Structure 1
Amino acid sequence: MLFGVQMFPTDYSIQPAEFARAAEEREFESVFFPEHTHIPSGRETPWPSGEELPQEYAHCLSPVVAMASAATATARIRIGTAICLVAQHDPIMLAKEIASIDLISGGRVMLGAGAGWNREEMLNHGVDPTTRMARMREHVEAMTAVWTEEEASYHGLFVDFAAIWSWPKPVQRPRPPVLIGGGGPGVLDRVLEYGDGWMPFRDGTDDWSSPAFASTAPEPFEEELSARIAELQKKAAGQGRAPVPVTLFNAKAQPEALHRYAGAGITRCIFWLPSLPAQELLPRLDRLAELARG
């Protein structure tokens, strides 16, 4: 099983280049950055993971900038988004940005793609929340056309452009892996329709000192996740596809949990770290590295 780390890079935390270098030095396979372009101050949409939205959501850097910084500061570690709100981007521009970082990094990019939860944020980008799933599909398909075709074109309901030239093309062919985020009822079909992997999310924030974290018992979501992974692989086999990689976002940092994840067929675990300055974050990264080494 592969291990990666994720953090909201902010104006008050360790910066992306230092974070990625530290993760690479500790032999993590990957580093991921999330996205929110902004948080509307009059937000009415509830945060799915709790009542109070953490401050890093409004302070996070652009994942494109964070990935580029991480790419130039490292040599081996894979660099991804977890997740990029692709429906809120111009797909031609995002395709160029991702391809450029893939070139700069020597082919180390992964695009974790999601539709988002913050309705007001979407509306500020001109995205109708009720059509965000269909828009996400079209954006991924349009970007794939830009990445794979010398004269790319795409004609959909939300994205429509005639033949264009756009370089660079990604180093990874036919495209950087697209990991579809989410856990809703239709996510497995979306993964198989236009994704290269699935990125489910384990809800909650771990406090390593709490009695709840110390419990080695399986969490309630694990049984459902295991069943859905089995369903995904069965559907993939029925379509003649190889097993689909599964990246668990916000994995529980506990040996017993990691053993169960491996048994369920999870390919990669991403540990979620808080947005802290280097002197506070690096000891936590050391602890996770020790756990990953087993």
Structure 2
Amino acid sequence: MKIGITTFVTDEGISGTKLGTALEDRGFESLFLAEHSHIPASRRSPNPGGGEIPRVYYRAMDPFVTLASVAAVTERLILATGISLLIQRDVIHTAKEVATLDRISNGRFVFGVGTGWNREEMEDHGTDPRTRGALLDEQIEALREIWTKDLAEYHGKFIDFDPMYAWPKPLREIPILLGGGDAAAARAIRHGAGWIPAAVSDPADIPAQLARLDGHDLPVTVAFAPADPALLDAYAEAGVERLLISLPTLPEAEAEQALDDIAKAAEDYLN
């Protein structure tokens, strides 16, 4: 099992480039960055974690630009969105951004996507929260069309474009991972993609969690895990491909100390 870090890179914490080199130096496999374009002041959509929405949600830097900077200073680190709110994005621009990032990183990009939870944020982008799942399905199909066809064409209910040329193409098939719970697992099965569930706290709950993919050999990346060796061992024994440990957004020195602590807890799984 591979170990990565999931975090928010903001203008108030360690920079992406410093974080990327710190991760690679310590043997971590990957960096997954969260995405929020903004956070509306309205609180019609409650924070899933309860209480006020954390400051990092609206201070988050653009993950694609940040990961491009990390690509320039690393050689092995897998660069990923975790997750990109694709339903709030133009699919044609996003296809080009992903392919460009995959090329400049020499094939190290992984595309974690999801529907999100903040309805006001979606609405600000012109996305109807009621149909966001169907939109995401079409976007995934359209992205694959653009990435793989010299003459790409797609006609759906939400995404519609006539034959077009769009380059660059990615260096290889872009791994797509669906972030979320039951709906995301079902969508991963439909699209033959990977799944990103949130970590459970009790190792005894892992078999039931992973049973959502029974009968389907799909890669699983577990996110938001604590640096708990017992939980890491249990997920490894269950056959999970990758586990992402949460790193708080901290200044450089504090972030590096936190990474040292995480690396010690996960030392059996680091390169």
Fold match by TM threshold 0.5: yes
Aligned residues with identical type, % of pairs: 42
Matched with 1:286 is: 260
- Matched residue SS, 2:225: coil
Q: Please give the per-residue CA displacement for 1:61-97, whole angstroms capped at 9, x wherever unaligned.
A: 0111111111111111100000000011000000100
Q: 1:245 corresponds to which residue?
A: 219
Q: Does 1:199 align with 2:180?
A: no
Match of 1:216 in 2: none
Report whether the alignment pairs 1:8 with 2:8: yes
Q: Which residue of 1 aligns with 2:70?
A: 70
1:32-65 residue CA offsets vs partner (Å, 9 max, x unmatched): 1000000001231011112121100010001111
Q: 1:230 aligns with which of 191, 206, 211?
A: 211
The aligned amino acid for 1:49 is: G
Q: Distance in 2 between the 1:224 and 1:145 partners?
A: 38
> How far off is 1:233 after superposition?
3.5
**Residue 187 of structure 1 corresponds to which residue in structure 2?**
184
Give structure 1 regions of 4+ aligned residues with deviation exceeding 6 angstroms: none
Bigger RCO (CA 8 Å, 6+ sep): 2
State yes or no: 1:17 paired with 2:14: no
Alignment map for 1:137-176 (pairs within 5 Å): 137-172=137-172, 175-176=173-174
Any unmatched runs of 5+ in structure 2?
Answer: none
Aligned to 2:113: 113
Report if the CA contact (8 A) 1:251-1:272 is conserved.
yes
SS of residue paired to 1:150? coil
Q: Deviations over 1:135-173 (max 9, x none)?
A: 11111111111000000011111100011111110011x
Counterpart Cα distance in 2 of 1:171 and 1:11:
31
1:131 match = 131
Deviation at 1:187, TM superposition (A): 2.5
Alpha-carbon deviation of 1:223?
4.4
The two structures have a TM-score, normalised by structure 1, of 0.88
Measured after TM superposition, the shift of residue 195 of structure 1 is 4.3
Q: What's the counterpart of residue 212 of structure 1?
A: none
Q: Aligned letter for 2:240?
A: I
Q: Secondary structure in 1 aligned to 2:266? A: helix
Separation in 2 of the partners of 1:259 and 1:44?
A: 39
Counterparts of 1:195 and 1:90 in 2: how far apart (Å)? 23
Offset, 1:225: 4.1
1:255 aligns with 2:229: yes
Supply the AA of the counterpart residue of 1:226.
Answer: P
Render the CA deviation track for 1:175-198: whole Å, top value 9, x for unaligned.
2100011013x3322001124211
The offset of 1:292, in angstroms, is 2.1
Please give the alpha-carbon distance, in whole angstroms, between the structure 1 residues aligned to 2:192 and 2:123: 25
3-state DSSP of counterpart to 2:24? helix
Unaligned runs of 5+ in 1: 204-218, 237-242
- Taking structure 2 as the reference length, the TM-score comes to 0.95
